[in-house]
Amino acid sequence: MKEKVAVATIQGKAYFKIVNALKEQNIAFNSIIPGTTIPPRIKIVITTEQEKEKVKFRKVLTFNGETELDCLIIEVKKLLLGKESYEKIIVGIDPGGAIGLVVMAEGKVIEEGNCYCNHEVVNVILKVIKTIDFSVTNVIVKIGNGVPVYKELLKELDNKLPPQVVLEVVSEAGTSYPKREHTQSRKVRHISSAKCIAGRTGKIVDRNWVVKDTDK
């Protein structure tokens, strides 16, 4: 069995929200009743604040409502990678009508998808870095310059993201995949391009919009 996460709650609504979020992220889980024996393969237990005292385990995460569910899932992913904190998070963005977005931590994809407005892109990034300690984690947001609208998105990122976040403009040359290589959908191509952008070195954008070379 692959389950390393256990959901320990008898509260129906909480259970429904938690397991749906885990399924959406393809995270295998085991369901247990609070107070019962936890299988040895389990690394993380998710429960509610009311039931937390019944769960005797080294790593327990608490479900604090739907508004905090995204942060909970991000924490689960981090712990499953064996990390208490990330050293570096890189966000790759492929601007366009559908905006491809990939979040990578320690070289592994922890979040990916397509956004359909600048506001949505900003919110996804803010969600990912909400619990970040910038004294131990470097966050770099890399945005492709293949279409003129990237400047509008860059400006919004500059205005809305914390000043500790590094913004970097990356050339998109060679990052776009031909349609025949990704026949599933345009969405897949945008995500693939965003991943390529995340892996490239570009130009750091000073937070007052002065671009300087990053020859490191």
Mean pLDDT of residues grouped by 10 in the chain (216 residues)?
88 97 94 95 96 95 93 92 91 94 92 94 94 94 94 94 95 64 64 94 81 46
**86-121: pLDDT as tens digits:** 999 999 999 998 999 999 998 899 999 999 999 999
The model carries a pTM of 0.80
Number of domains in the chain: 2
User: Do 190 and 121 share a structural domain?
Assistant: yes
* CATH number for the domain harbouring residue 100: 3.30.420.140
Q: What is the pLDDT of residue 116?
A: 93
Q: What is the pLDDT of residue 173?
A: 78
**13-40: pLDDT as tens digits:** 999 999 999 999 999 999 999 999 999 9
User: Do 93 and 76 share a structural domain?
Assistant: no
Whether the Cβ atoms of residue 80 and residue 5 lie closer than 8 Å to each other: yes
For residue 216, give the nearest of 200, 205, 201, 206 by alpha carbon. 201
Domain that holds residue 75: 5-80
Structure tokens at 19: 């397991």
